Structure 1
Amino acid sequence: MSLLEINDLHINFKTYGGEVQAVRGVNLKLEKGETLAIVGESGCGKSVTAQSIMRLLPKGISKVKQGEVWFNGTNLLTLSDKKMRKIQGNDISMIFQDPMTSLNPTLSIGTQLTEGIRKHTSISASAAKAKALEMLTIVGISNGEDRLKQYPHEFSGGMRQRLMIAMALICEPDILIADEPTTALDVTIQAQILSLFKEIQRKTGVAIILITHDLGVVAQLADRVHVMYAGKVIELSDRRGLFYQSAHPYTKGLLRSIPRLDDAKEELVPISGTPPDLFLPPTGCPFAARCHYAMDVCRHHMPEMKKVSENHQAACWLLDERSKQVFKELA
């Protein structure tokens, strides 16, 4: 059994205008020690999916309509809040998008680093401090004794992100969820953080779920990739298959919108149009209105996942044998 498995997850948000269907039938598997990237443009549901694993969705306005989130044989969605708190930060940890807003400006770094391990274990204060110093060394922060006494505003953006990684890993979790971990960083610091992820995974064997819209980050870090659009996973593949054999028109559009260093004259090709309204999602393929290859069937019926290769699937009517036959006859 996979370390983490999500089955047919549907999540809605209540608003004054109605219910937003943010996640619509997501299926996902995460194996031990691998890095799984979830990519897609803003609003596609990738962060909501990640937050549902940690049970961090806002109460009152969010609702899991159906689905299961299995971790080590336990459906996390059925646990009480008390039991879930034992898993949060201990077995599954999360790094959020902006480290400055995730760190408490009124508490020292030492207090924030040791809080999690003191909460989840019976470790002494001195042992917790020793563990915090060890984590600072692992994430590349020197002068640990002095750093533990400092406050978040005394650190740079890259250093704060390293602190967030240290906080997330101090309890030695099985899964680390990184939500846009390099968005606010310049390219030099971003490269350092990505190298740090690789090194930590090599040393600890932690499985990583990487939430990003940056395919450059995916190319460096991911083992497998799920592409999301309008609350659905529309393509899943290993890293090589995604970049060299992408099958869904949306994925191809994402790849065409990335600047190439080996061809400075090549123009970027934007994806025209806008994502569908998730108050009332389309009955067919959600990308049909923006797709140059859309057929009548695309607008009225959602395609099922079709096999592209051994570790590669995509939800597109162009992969249906009947469509292939039509295009063959037209050619």
Structure 2
Amino acid sequence: MEKVLEVSDLHVSFSTYGGEVKAVRGVTFDLHKGETLAIVGESGCGKSVTSQSIMRLIPDPPGKIIRGSVLFKGMDLTKVNEPQMRKIRGADISMIFQDPMTALNPTLTIGDQIIEGIRQHEQMTKEQAKKVALEMMELVGIPSPTIRFKQYPHQFSGGMRQRMVIAMALVCRPEVLIADEPTTALDVTIQAQILDLFRDIQKETGVSIILITHDLGVVAQVADRIAVMYAGKIIEEGTRREIFYHPQHPYTKGLLNSVPRLDIEGVDLVPIGGSPPDLFSPPAGCPFAPRCDDAMEVCDRVYPFKTTLSKDHHVDCWLQDERAKLASITTTFNARL
């Protein structure tokens, strides 16, 4: 499958009065044409920083891309200048931000805001841009788009504002759409509608989607592949089936165990004990080791090698190392003796 985006060994840090926060520490992943890749993890694990780094929206200072590359159409987006990046943002790569109310300008009509993006990237008259905007509003399910076009954000419900933000992101037909917590603060009914909308738009336009979320219920409905992120690193990656039915990293298992199950009676939620590590001074070994019941001595000292479990399934965990498996077999055998 054709790759549309390649992120390799991305490191992002923030300079603060307390020191350097190493927010993203060697993130690597690919995005293929027409697929949805979900990046999941606890708040503060680096999901949003990763997505904003792809768009070059990290304020510098205090933020800085220390090293790594983001390849799109043969260009390394970490090295292009700001005028080039402005041509790419919105036209080739678009982003849906977490809060649709703050993403929209309360002093401008919805029509003015959606037209602004079109005229920034396309050579169109105002009337031509308006026609494209109305077509996109209709595509994302805005009722009476001609009337809504002249209204202000406060006249829209939360779900309608989210649809407008999606319309603004898609109006120039980008190849990549980054959706950062697109269903946060929406009730379950509207959430389901937004997820259905993503599926319909992907079929209609063929856009590739990076979905940033901590909600595994959302991921289960729309993701093709899942990257699990912890303490600035992607610690497990695989297809939706592999992650949900065959998770291998203890953190991934912890996330799944903490999701409410309505299909099975009498199953208690199992929270993940402890707290994430301090990213002012990240640990040398596995960052999840202090919270892991199965941690070994090596876990505290050395970061695990990547173990390939299948073509799409990879995990950074010493428990998957052949030497650890051999030691486990030997220990079990000796115990039986």
Bin the TM-score by the shorter chain: over 0.9
Do the aligned partners of 1:158 and 1:185 also contact (CA within 8 Å) in 2? yes
Show structure 2 runs of 5+ residues with no match: 333-337
CA displacement at 1:184 relative to structure 2: 1.2
Aligned to 2:315: 314
Aligned to 2:256: 255
How many Å separate the matches in 1 of 2:208 and 2:305? 28
How many Å separate the matches in 2 of 1:245 and 1:310? 14
How many Å separate the matches in 2 of 1:244 and 1:310? 16
How many Å separate the matches in 1 of 2:244 and 2:200? 24
Aligned to 1:118: 119
Aligned to 2:237: 236
- Report 1:38-77 matches (<5 A): 38-77=39-78
C-alpha offsets along residues 265-313 of structure 1, whole Å, 9 cap, x if unaligned?
Answer: 1110000000000000000000000000000000000001101223211
Do the aligned partners of 1:247 and 1:308 also contact (CA within 8 Å) in 2? no
How many Å separate the matches in 2 of 1:206 and 1:152? 26
CA displacement at 1:103 relative to structure 2: 0.1
Do the aligned partners of 1:14 and 1:62 also contact (CA within 8 Å) in 2? yes
Counterpart residue identity of residue 155, structure 1: F
Aligned to 1:174: 175
Q: SS of the residue aligned with 1:240?
A: helix
C-alpha offsets along residues 134-177 of structure 1, whole Å, 9 cap, x if unaligned?
Answer: 01110011111110100000000000000000000000000000
Counterpart residue identity of residue 149, structure 2: L
Show structure 1 runs of 5+ residues with no match: none
Backbone CA RMSD of aligned residues = 0.7
C-alpha offsets along residues 88-132 of structure 1, whole Å, 9 cap, x if unaligned?
Answer: 011000000000000000000000011001011111111100011
How many Å separate the matches in 2 of 1:272 and 1:142? 46
Q: SS of the residue aligned with 2:309?
A: strand
TM-score (norm 2): 0.97
The reply on whether 1:131 has 2:132 as its aligned counterpart is: yes
Counterpart residue identity of residue 35, structure 2: E
Do the aligned partners of 1:227 and 1:236 also contact (CA within 8 Å) in 2? yes
CA displacement at 1:64 relative to structure 2: 0.9
How many Å separate the matches in 2 of 1:31 and 1:68? 17
Q: SS of the residue aligned with 1:133?
A: helix
How many Å separate the matches in 1 of 2:97 and 2:227? 19
C-alpha offsets along residues 192-230 of structure 1, whole Å, 9 cap, x if unaligned?
Answer: 000000000000000000000001111000000100000
Aligned to 1:223: 224
C-alpha offsets along residues 9-57 of structure 1, whole Å, 9 cap, x if unaligned?
Answer: 1000010000000000000100111100000000000100000010000
Do the aligned partners of 1:306 and 1:320 also contact (CA within 8 Å) in 2? yes
Aligned to 1:196: 197
Counterpart residue identity of residue 110, structure 2: I
Aligned to 1:187: 188
Aligned to 1:92: 93
Q: SS of the residue aligned with 1:142?
A: coil
Q: SS of the residue aligned with 1:153?
A: helix
Q: SS of the residue aligned with 1:9?
A: strand
Query: What is the aligned residue count?
Result: 331
Aligned to 2:157: 156
Aligned to 1:142: 143
